[in-house]
Structure formats: C-alpha cells, structure tokens
Amino acid sequence: EVSIFWFRRDLRIEDNHGLWAALRGDQPVLPVFIFDTDILSRLPDTSDGRVEFIHQAISKLKLAIQARGGDLCVLHAKPLDAFKELSTRFKIAAIHCNADYEKYGCVRDESIRAWADANQIDFYSYKDQVVFEKSEVLSGQGTPYTVFTPYSRKWKEQLRIQPIQQFPSETIEHYAPGSFELPSLASLGFRPSGLTFPAAQVADTLIQHYGEKRDFPALPGTSRLSVHLRFGTISIRSLVLQAVGKSEVWLNELIWRDFYFNILHHFSHVSEGHAFRKEYDRMDWRNNETEFEAWKQGQTGYPIVDAGMRELNATGFMHNRVRMIVASFLVKHLLIDWRWGEAYFAAKLLDFDFAANNGGWQWAAGSGCDAAPYFRVFNPALQTKKFDGELTYIRHWVPEFQELTYPQPIVNHEFARERVLAAYKKALAKV
Ligand code: FAD
C-alpha cells in the first residue's frame, strides 16, 4: 500500500507542505508527476519553454528523490486516466497534493477527489503556493479586500499572528521503492526552446536595493524569480522569511501575488472572461488585427513598447515597468480589448500565471480591482525619459530605432489619448 504525492506547481523537494505531510503518513510515498495531455495539447508552439522548464525541474526532482531511496513516476496522460492506471499497479491509500487556485486546476482536482472518494482513497490538499489563501485575510466586516493597501496591512498583521512555518520535506526519507523511466522532451512532442532560465535564488543585496532599482528595465534590479514561483521551484515561505526586515517594497510585491490569488478565489467572474468591474465590458474596442500584429512583433514605432515586446518574444520575460507600458499602449492607444493582450502574454510568458496576468491586464485597462484609473494614459515618451533615460534598454532591443527603416508611430499620442478618453466615457455613461 502506498500514498501518492502528486507534484504540480510545487516542483521542489524542500519546504513542500503536501510532500512533507505525505511523507509523515503511515504508507510509503509514491511521488507522481503527470504531463497533462489536456494542457500540453493546447500549447501551439512545440518549442514552448515552459514544458522544457518543467522537464528540467522534474529531472532534478527525480535525482533528489532517488537520493532518498525512491523514484519519481512521470506519466503523460489525462490526470484521471493516469490515476486509474496507477490504481491497477498500486494499492493506493491516499492522494496528497498542494492546492491549486486556477479554475482549470480546481475543476481537475474536484474530479480526482470524486474518483478517489468512489474508490475509498483519501484525498488531501494543502496550502503551499501562497502565504495566505482563501479567507485567511478578510476585512473587519468579513469581506474580501479589493484594494491592495488595506489588504497588505491586514496580510502583515496576519503574519504576526500566524508566523511562517516551514515544512522540512527534504529531511524525511519515506518513499516507496521503485524505478521509473523519465519520458524525453521529444517523446512528449516538444523540443528545446533555446531560452535560458534564471537562477532560483535572490541575493540579499538585490532585495536591499530593490526599491531604488526595480523600475529601470536596463538594470538587473528585480529578482527574475517569477518563473520559479510559477512552478514552485522555490518556496514562497522561504522568500518571505528572507524578505522580512530587508525591504518593505520587495515584500509588497510578494503580497501582490497573494492579493491576485485572493481576487481569483473570491471573484470567479474574472476567470470567465469578464472585467472585474462589469461596466467596463461595455467598451467598444476597435480590435484592429493589423495593429495587434504590429504590437505583437514590436513594430509600433514607439521604441519603449517595441523593446518590451521584442524582449518578451526573445526571452519569455518582460520587465514589470515595461509590461505596464505595453499593456496600457495596447488597450489605450490602440483600443484593443485587453483580453487579446492577456492571451498573447499567456502564450509567451514563462512566468504566465492566470491570477497575476489577469490582474495586471485589468489594472492597465482600468477595469480591475485597485486599477489605474481609466483616464491615466501612459505617455510612452515620458515613461522612457523617466525609466530608460539613457535609452540603454531601448538600444538593446531596438537598435535601429533612429534609422529610416524603423516604422513611424502607429498612432499619434495626443490623438490616441483623446480617442480612448471618449471611448471610456461613452462606455461608462451607458445604463
Ligand atoms: P520581482 O520584481 O523581483 O518581484 C518578485 C516576485 O513578486 C515576482 O517574481 C512575482 O512572483 C511577484 N510579483 C511582483 N509583481 C507582481 C504583481 N504586480 N502581481 C503579482 N505578483 C507580482 N507576474 C507573473 O508572475 N505572471 C504573469 O503572468 C504576469 N503577468 C503580468 C501582466 C501585466 C500586464 C503586468 C503589468 C504584470 C504582470 N505580472 C505577472 C507581474 C510582474 O510584472 C511580474 O511578476 C514581474 O515582472 C516578474 O519579474 P521578477 O520575478 O523579476 O519580479
């Protein structure tokens, strides 16, 4: 008899809540990872860097588990089929996993829970991906926060009441013996992306100077940990412990991450394609396909926008300040539905995370909780002056920006500004 620990967005052996709980149980643990065919078949690009990232992460995980007397069983199937198949090979007492908060993950987990119930298998889920989940941080009236500052204040208060507890899963050796093949990337239908992945650690000095440097895309002033937080190759608890007392600004960014998960949990309409503020769904978007293509390719004639899009296309990453600029540009200068931009980021970002991405796009569109007001239209020239004054970032990604071959601005800034203000006013005035 075994208990299964099912790895998903928590691809590490250290400080893994669900793994720790499983290893402390009576049965030896069979660790499992499933390459979900439902997810993989939806990825249009066979060189998607995220599949490669996961493949590398589970290869490391497999070695770490082998060193502790077990092995990672890796399957390529629909999750329910994978569990049915495992149940023919093993007598399963329980399935343990860490909670997922995205819609797809919640529906998937409910179906596995129902199957487990029907087969007398216990199903346990733990909080691991966030510091505070669901209803742990609520206002005095017991309602969810929709504004960041009071949420973060309450979050910090909660941290004093409920300090971080780590789960030393790496110290327990209670695995079921076994030996399994690791499917190659090619056998999954993918090939290497050619992208480089950042290290899974952040220096104390970066955290200490984060507040002064984080807004300048030419500087290595941010952690680049987002892909690791996305796939759980680093523990959020260890990062919060490292952050406390070093930089309030940095800690706040980690709190933004929890904040958007909190929004997703309490306001499920945002995962159904709706604006957080529903009146913004009345906008008449222009949705010009040629302009959308120019934006995607980094050919708008606005160097800071084009630099950001080219960074995204080449690396799977974009600096946060530039994400805000390109998102605002798509929505406000080109009057293209923010959902188009959200979908493009979802396809391209290594760190794509539904909650943060949807939150970021709705922030830019003015339709989100605690969003930039609709009448605040970023001026790309002023943003460049403030955050890339020496043009270092632009020169790197758009070296031809002063040459004749570089496109003329796709739209005039002042004209676009007036146009979008009128469009928002019209939408918000409708009854
Ligand atoms: P750092 O500045 O070093 O911050 C540390 C960590 O804090 C990040 O890794 C991230 O996990 C978290 N964080 C920082 N800022 C935010 C934020 N605004 N919201 C939520 N978490 C945050 N982040 C994603 O992880 N996935 C996305 O799909 C995503 N899409 C975005 C779309 C738009 C339009 C915008 C404006 C922002 C988006 N962000 C997203 C938030 C932010 O841009 C990235 O988290 C950040 O740029 C990642 O770089 P870093 O790891 O160097 O961050």
Domain containing 231 — which CATH number? 1.25.40.80
Q: pLDDT digit string (tens) for 38-51?
A: 999 999 899 999 99
Q: pLDDT digit string (tens) for 351-374?
A: 999 999 999 999 999 999 988 899
- Indicate which residue's Cα is closest to atom 13 of ligand 1: 253
Examine the pLDDT at 430 and tell me if it is beyond 80: no
Domain containing 20 — which CATH number? 3.40.50.620
Q: Give me the pLDDT at residue 372, please.
A: 85
Q: pLDDT digit string (tens) for 208-224?
A: 999 999 999 999 999 99
Number of structural domains (the chain) is: 3
306 shares its domain with 324: yes
Helix (H, G, I), strand (E, B) or coil at 4: strand
Q: Would residue 189 count as lying in a domain?
A: no
Q: Give me the pLDDT at residue 246, please.
A: 94
Q: pLDDT digit string (tens) for 275-291?
A: 999 999 999 999 999 99
Q: pLDDT digit string (tens) for 375-411?
A: 999 999 999 999 999 999 999 999 999 999 999 999 9
| Structure tokens given for 309 | 């899009």
Ligand 1 centroid distance, CA of 423 (Å)? 29
Ligand 1 centroid distance, CA of 413 (Å)? 27
322 shares its domain with 297: yes
Got the DSSP string for 353-390?
Answer: -HHHHHHHHHHHHT-STTPPPTT----HHHHHHHH-TT
The per-residue pLDDT of the chain, averaged, comes to 97
Torsion of CA 319, 325, 331, 332, to 10 degrees: 180
262 shares its domain with 352: no
Distance set, CA 329 to CA 148, 267, 298, 338, 388 (Å): 24, 26, 12, 10, 17
Q: Would residue 179 count as lying in a domain?
A: no
29 shares its domain with 149: no
The domain of 360 spans: 274-429
297 shares its domain with 366: yes
392 shares its domain with 279: yes
Q: Would residue 147 count as lying in a domain?
A: yes
ipTM of this complex > 0.85? Answer: yes
**Cβ atoms 269, 369 nearer than 8 A:** no
**Cβ atoms 385, 361 nearer than 8 A:** no
Residues 6+ apart with CB under 8 A from 161: none
Which of the 8 DSSP states describes residue 276?
S
| Structure tokens given for 21 | 């709980």
Examine the pLDDT at 318 and tell me if it is beyond 70: yes
Q: pLDDT digit string (tens) for 135-150?
A: 999 999 999 999 999 9
Q: Give me the pLDDT at residue 346, please.
A: 97
288 shares its domain with 215: no
Q: Using CB atoms within 10 A of its CB, is residue 403 exposed (0-12), middle (13-18) or buried (19+)?
A: exposed
H/E element holding 72?
A: none
Q: Give me the pLDDT at residue 189, please.
A: 97
In 7-47, alpha helices (H): 17-23, 37-40
Q: Give me the pLDDT at residue 279, please.
A: 93
Ligand 1 centroid distance, CA of 131 (Å)? 16
Residues serving a catalytic function are 253, 256, 285, 320, 338, 361
Ligand 1 centroid distance, CA of 24 (Å)? 34
Which of 81, 110, 128 is the last residue before a domain boundary? 128
Q: Give me the pLDDT at residue 431, please.
A: 60
Domain containing 292 — which CATH number? 1.10.579.10
Q: Would residue 182 count as lying in a domain?
A: no
Whether pTM > 0.90 for this model: the answer is: yes
Residues 6+ apart with CB under 8 A from 94: 3, 4, 22, 25, 27, 121, 122, 123, 124
- Ligand 1 atom nearest to CA at 326: 34
Q: Give me the pLDDT at residue 370, please.
A: 87
Question: Among 206, 208, 320, which residue has the most ligand 1 atoms within 8 Å of its CB, making it the best to mutate?
Answer: 320
Which of 128, 155, 188 is the last residue before a domain boundary? 128
Examine the pLDDT at 338 and tell me if it is beyond 80: yes
Where in 105-253 does DSSP place strands (E)? 122-126
Question: Among 102, 204, 226, 264, which residue has the most ligand 1 atoms within 8 Å of its CB, making it the best to mutate?
Answer: 226
Examine the pLDDT at 252 and tell me if it is beyond 80: yes
Q: pLDDT digit string (tens) for 70-108?
A: 999 999 999 999 999 999 999 999 999 999 999 999 999
Mean pLDDT of 223-233: 98
